[in-house]
Amino acid sequence: MCTMEVGSAHMPGGCGKQQAQKEASQAPETPKPTEVFLLQAFMMSGNLVCELRCRGTTTMEAAKMRIARHCGIPAHNQRFLHDGEVLEDARTLESCTMLDTTLFGVDGMMVVQLVVNGTSNIARNVRELGRSDDPDIAIDGVLGDLVDTVLRAEHQLSELVRPKGGTQLSAALGRGKRAELVHWMVQAFTALRFDDAILHSIVLTLDRYYTTCSASSDTSNVQSVLLGAVCTEMKLVGADEFPPGHWQQVLCHICHGQIELKAILKSECDVLARLNFQVGAPTPLAFARELGCGAPPDAEIGRGAVELASFLLELALFDPTLQYCRPHVLLAGGALSAALRVMEVETPSLRQGCREAREAIFQDLMFYDPENLRVAEQEALCCEGELLVLWLTCSEGHGNLEWALFYPTVEGKFRGRDQLRSVASNEVIASAVRACGEARGQC
C-alpha cells in the first residue's frame, strides 16, 4: 500500500510590497476551483519522486492515477493520510488546503506535499520472482500485486483472535503449569520433527481457548484439549504432510494410546466451538518468516536473522505477557530486529547489511495496518529490547522467571541446527541490549 501524508500551506507570491502587506493583514482566502496546484510527492527517505501540476478540482483518485503513471506505484496501492485520517478518493486537492490554517505557494501555485511509501519490500521481492527463468518460480511473481492486501488481511485476523494481555490466561491455566505444557510440546514436537510453525499455532490455539475460561475452570482435561488442538493443526497443514491414517497414528503416539480417538475428536469439536471455528490465524513466527522475505537478498543475513528470530520467538512462548501485549506482527519485527542486532554486534562486517535489512523490515511493518502502525518502529524496538533482556536473563540463569528452567531445552534445540549461527555469548547479548537502548533513544 502507498501511504501519503498530506500537508499544505499558503504564502503570498511576489506581487509588490503594498500587495504583500495587504495580503499579510488578511486571512488566507479559499482557493478557487480553477486554481493551479503543485503536487509534490516524496519518498520516505526525503527524495522527491515527482512534481505534478493539477487543478484544485482534481480528486484524490485522479491524483493517484497520475502518480501511478509517473512513479509506477499502482493507484490501488496508494493511500492519502492527513493527521491519521484517510482521505477519500472523492476528495479534491482544493479541500486539502482547508485542513490547515497556514498556506503557502510557489510561483502563484498552491502546494500540496505528499510523502509516498511505495509497495512493501515483500511485494517487490515477490514480483521479482516473475523474472526467473524457472517457470515454476516465475509463476509466483503474478502474486506481487496481491501481497499488500494479504498482509492487511493477515494482521486483521491476527488482531481479531489475539488474547489481549496474559492476565486472564494466567488466571485460567496458571503461568507455571502453562510453562510446563509449552516445555513438553517443545520436546515432543522436536522429537516428532514438526515444523516450528505447528508448535506456535497450537500454543496460540490453547491460549485462546483458556482465555475464554474462568479462573475456577477445571483444567484437568488439558491433555485432551491439547490433543484436540494438535488434531486441528495437522488437518490445517494438509494431507501432503499428514495423510489420512498418519495423523491418527501421531495422536496415538503422543498420548501413548491412553486416550481413544473418539474422545480426542470430541475434545477438538469442543475447542473449535469455543473459538467460534476461527482457526489458522498467523502467529508471530509466521509474520517473522514473511517479513524476512522483504529483507535485501543476502542469503547469510536473511537466513540467519529468521532462524535466530525463531529462537527468540520460541522463548517468548513461555511468557504470555510478552507474547500477547502487542500485535503479533510487531513482536515478529522486534524478534528480527533483535536477531540482526546480535549479528551485527557479533560480526561487524555484517553491520551495513544488517542495518539495511532492519530498515526494510521496519518499512514493511506499516503495510500491515497503515493507520494504526505508524509508530511501528518504536513499538518493534520495545519488543526487541524485551526479547533481548529475556534471552540474557535466561542465559545467565537468574531472575524470578519460572520458565527460565526450560531455557536449556530451547537453546539446545536451536544449537543443534546447522542453519543457526552459534548462539551468542552473554557479552554479545548484553552489547545488543545496550545498542537497542541507544536505537530507541534516537528513534
State pLDDT tens for residues 21-71: 555 455 445 444 447 788 777 665 456 777 888 888 888 888 888 877 776
**Per-residue confidence band for 415, with pLDDT thresholds at 50, 70 and 90:** confident
Q: Is 206 exposed, middle or buried (0-12, 13-18, 19+ CB in 10 A)?
A: buried
pTM of the prediction?
0.76
**Per-residue confidence band for 366, with pLDDT thresholds at 50, 70 and 90:** confident
Residue partners of 277: CB distance under 8 A and separation at least 6:
none
130-143 pLDDT tens trace: 888 998 888 988 88
**Per-residue confidence band for 374, with pLDDT thresholds at 50, 70 and 90:** low
Residue partners of 99: CB distance under 8 A and separation at least 6:
6, 8, 82, 83
376-402 pLDDT tens trace: 888 999 999 999 999 999 888 765 566
% of the chain surpassing 90 pLDDT: 41
Select, from the ranges 286-290, 347-351, 422-426, the one with the highest average predicted confidence (pLDDT): 286-290
Nearest residue to 288 via CA among 387, 425, 146, 401 = 387
For residue 179, pLDDT beyond 80: yes
% of the chain surpassing 70 pLDDT: 74
Q: Is 361 exposed, middle or buried (0-12, 13-18, 19+ CB in 10 A)?
A: buried
Alpha helical stretches, state H, 11-166: 17-24, 60-71, 93-96, 121-128, 135-138, 147-161
65-106 pLDDT tens trace: 887 777 666 676 666 755 556 678 888 877 765 544 333 455
222-263 pLDDT tens trace: 999 999 999 999 999 999 999 999 999 999 999 999 999 999
Long-range residue pairs from 43-46, CB within 8 A, at least 24 positions apart, any chain: 43/115, 43/116, 43/117, 43/118, 44/115, 44/116, 44/117, 44/363
